[in-house]
A and B are shown apart, each in its own frame.
Chain A
Amino acid sequence: MYSADIRQPLVTGGKTYSDVTADICRPIENKPTNSWWLGFSIGVVLLLVLAGTLAWTVWEGIGTWNTNKSVMWGWDITNFVFWVGIGHAGTLISAVLLLFRQKWRMSINRSAEAMTIFAVFCAAIFPLFHMGRVWLGFWPLPLPNAFGSLWVNFNSPLLWDVFAISTYLSVSLVFWYLGLIPDIATVRDRATSKARKYWYGFFAMGWNGSAKSWGRYEVVALILAGISTPLVLSVHTIVSMDFATSVIPGWHTTIFPPYFVAGAIFSGFGMVLTLLLIARHVMNYQDYITKEHLEAMTKVILLTGSVVGLAYITEFVIAAYSGYEYEQYAFANRMFGPYAWAYWTMMFCNLMAPQVFWSKWARTTPWFIFVISIVVNIGMWFERFVIIVTSLHRDFLPSSWVMYHATWVEVGIFLGTFGLFFTCFFLFAKFLPVINMAEIKTIIKDKE
């Protein structure tokens, strides 16, 4: 009666509604597997690394990093932008694809949204701990105070960041949670132990799936998707303004907002693919995350990768055309200066590597996609590194030109954020349905 115009079935294996429920609730209801324990332990160990390195940073001062008089932002803000970028895919997949009525999103949007939230957690660590006085981290909030009420600077992109990131995090959380409610209700009604009944009942908020509720629910979800779309775009636009509104050659570029947004989608999809391919393999979700899904996502990667590549080239051409020697030098220095290796890594990973997805084989071969998704993640990290470090290390006055290399503390914090990310993700996979059951059930019939 309502079939979507998709050639391949979105869910394979001839699943019934109760099969879907059983499949997706299985990890929640059963004891964790060994592979879960392994992954979770690695996550926790890395999380301890994060705790240790952050504690050391706070104890000693951020002098334990190698940032210096010219490169005052190094791995910290690189990682921040990296994680915020990753944090874009989830909401984008849910929101934009919902608006475009792309039903293939349904298998992946839950985990992508979770990823968004965890990535934003990871991202938030950096602007907080890169502060020299992290204990005063609440000062950028416009609170009345005893200093005559000294306010905040609404001209500062960092303040915009404060608003943007906190709004993004809270709206994403709401969006994610809203989607979780019917599924939590499902788990609740299947639960037999007292604790599970209580807690899933607590979070299900009394959901019973009445047609009236579903009617409102769908409208709210649609509007949330509608406002989340500009929100997603605005967040990375504002992050890009951290650079674009400055005077530093290589930063002071009007192309940054679209370029950063495309990069964010690109890196977000890269990370979604990485995670989903693992989850698909480990949890045997091949029927829910089909090759059709993978192919659709690789196409997005191909598109956004090309957009990002175009931005790189545009940026360079504009700099060359600008007649502004500092800008010209900044870009030439990226390509051929001491950090050229980072630039070419970025170019290879972000512009060249995704082009393999013109091939159908590449788009449908999971292990290959996995490799490319990792490459994309690496490439996007280098993009931020290139933008931040190569612009700062040689700016206007050659007397202040410096080199910058991270210390083990900075590396430890970065690795540690992966610990936080994976710990959260494994907990999520254990306690919450990683695929949106309610939505999947609506498309089971769309197989013909």
Chain B
Amino acid sequence: MSSFYSESTFLALIILSVVLLAIAALLFGIKRHLSELNREKFAEEAEPSFYEAKIKPVIDTWNPTIATLVIAGVLIVILGGFGYKFGMDEVGVQQGYAPSQPINFSHKIHAGQYEIDCKYCHSTVEKSKSASIPSLNTCMNCHKYVKASEKYNGKTSPEIQKIYNAIGYDGENMEYIEGYEQKPIEWIRIHNLPDLAYFNHSQHVVVGKLDCQTCHGPIQEMDKVYQYSTLQMGWCIDCHRERGIDSENNDYYEEAHKNMLAEGKDYITVAENGGLECSKCHY
């Protein structure tokens, strides 16, 4: 019942069909123009075109009032609709945002190829609202030894060298440099939620039992991380309307689970559990 509105299909379909019609008309015009050129070339007597023969009489008999209003209306709907949709869906939405990071860290290698658990590095994801970017010493747990030198003629990979430069590690002698002035790595944040929205990773990962990929996409295949989801409110709402909570295995939901069984339902969606209420995310 909700998808009709929530997906804004109504507006989208109208706009789409109008655009397709416009393209068809354009193509038709080009074709006619070409054939006219052709005719001129062969100096043929111009036979009445399809337009002149069939369409013009219709237009001539059209009511100018209705025609004007329809054209104006269609224009307003198209322009206004596009403008509004642009304002709503494009401004501030950074889906696909993939900035270059100071270190070309590849999730494809780490998470995909080596299957390192996400939580190894993003260690606070089960405890806190933020998943946190790992500190350099987490990197060093492996990269003390892993230098990918086999790919670089025995030298340390230049990307790994950046870690060493930052933390002050002598890759040759495998030891930390005393008194080294450390420099932080300034990563560029990709997933930005506005200040007014409260999002908690632990809620979704621990309680909601979501995979990282649900929101972050096939991160294990990304050489360069990009923003997979729109991170718009509508996107959150859709998910909250569809997904159920695990009421059976969490004692917190004991009462809710009982009520659910009493009502003969299979599961409770997040929305039914109050997941669409404003102060779940905005306070």
Q: Do chains A and B touch in the complex (CB under 8 A)?
A: yes
Which A residues form the contact surface with B (CB < 8 A)? 143-150
Q: Mark B225-242, 1 if CB is under 8 A from A, else 0.
A: 000000011101110000
Give the distance to chain B from A271, nearest Cβ to Cβ, in Å. 34
Q: Which residues of A contact B252 (CB under 8 A)?
A: none
Q: A147-B237, A148-B234 are in contact. List 6 more A-B contacts (CB 8 A).
A: A144-B11, A148-B233, A149-B5, A149-B6, A149-B8, A149-B234
Give the distance to chain A from B47, nearest Cβ to Cβ, in Å. 35
Give the distance to chain A from B241, nearest Cβ to Cβ, in Å. 8
A148 touches B84 (CB 8 A): no
Bound: A166/B160 CA distance, A? 64
Bound: A149/B238 CA distance, A? 10
Q: Mark B66-98, 1 if CB is under 8 A from A, else 0.
A: 000000000000000000100011000100000
A146 touches B89 (CB 8 A): yes
Bound: A147/B197 CA distance, A? 12
Give the distance to chain B from A89, nearest Cβ to Cβ, in Å. 31
Which B residues form the contact surface with A (CB < 8 A)? 5-6, 8, 10-11, 84, 88-89, 93, 232-234, 236-238, 276
Bound: A147/B89 CA distance, A? 10
Give the distance to chain A from B189, nearest Cβ to Cβ, in Å. 21
Q: Which residues of B contact A147 (CB under 8 A)?
A: 232-234, 237
Bound: A147/B6 CA distance, A? 9
Q: Which residues of B contact A150 (CB under 8 A)?
A: 233
- Among the listed B10, B11, B89, B238, which residue makes an inter-chain contact with A148, where contact means beta carbons less than 8 Å apart? B238
Bound: A32/B44 CA distance, A? 62
Q: Which residues of B contact A149 (CB under 8 A)?
A: 5-6, 8, 234
Q: Which residues of A contact B10 (CB under 8 A)?
A: 144
Give the distance to chain A from B32, nearest Cβ to Cβ, in Å. 32
The CB with the most chain B CB atoms within 10 A, among A148, A149, A150, is that of A148
The CB with the most chain B CB atoms within 10 A, among A143, A144, A145, A150, is that of A144
Bound: A149/B93 CA distance, A? 16
Minimal Cβ-Cβ distance residue in A for B6: A149
Give the distance to chain A from B224, nearest Cβ to Cβ, in Å. 26
B88 touches A145 (CB 8 A): yes
Bound: A146/B233 CA distance, A? 6
Q: List 29 A-B contacts (CB under 8 A).
A: A143-B84, A144-B5, A144-B8, A144-B10, A144-B11, A145-B88, A145-B234, A146-B88, A146-B89, A146-B93, A146-B232, A146-B233, A146-B234, A147-B232, A147-B233, A147-B234, A147-B237, A148-B6, A148-B233, A148-B234, A148-B236, A148-B237, A148-B238, A148-B276, A149-B5, A149-B6, A149-B8, A149-B234, A150-B233
The CB with the most chain A CB atoms within 10 A, among B11, B88, B93, B238, is that of B88
Minimal Cβ-Cβ distance residue in A for B237: A148
Q: Which residues of B contact A144 (CB under 8 A)?
A: 5, 8, 10-11
Give the distance to chain A from B18, nearest Cβ to Cβ, in Å. 17
Give the distance to chain A from B2, nearest Cβ to Cβ, in Å. 9
Give the distance to chain A from B113, nearest Cβ to Cβ, in Å. 37
Q: Which residues of A contact B236 (CB under 8 A)?
A: 148
Bound: A183/B11 CA distance, A? 40
Bound: A147/B236 CA distance, A? 9
Give the distance to chain B from A210, nearest Cβ to Cβ, in Å. 16
Give the distance to chain B from A181, nearest Cβ to Cβ, in Å. 13
Give the distance to chain A from B86, nearest Cβ to Cβ, in Å. 11
Q: Which residues of A contact B93 (CB under 8 A)?
A: 146
Bound: A150/B93 CA distance, A? 18
Minimal Cβ-Cβ distance residue in B for A145: B88
Bound: A143/B80 CA distance, A? 12
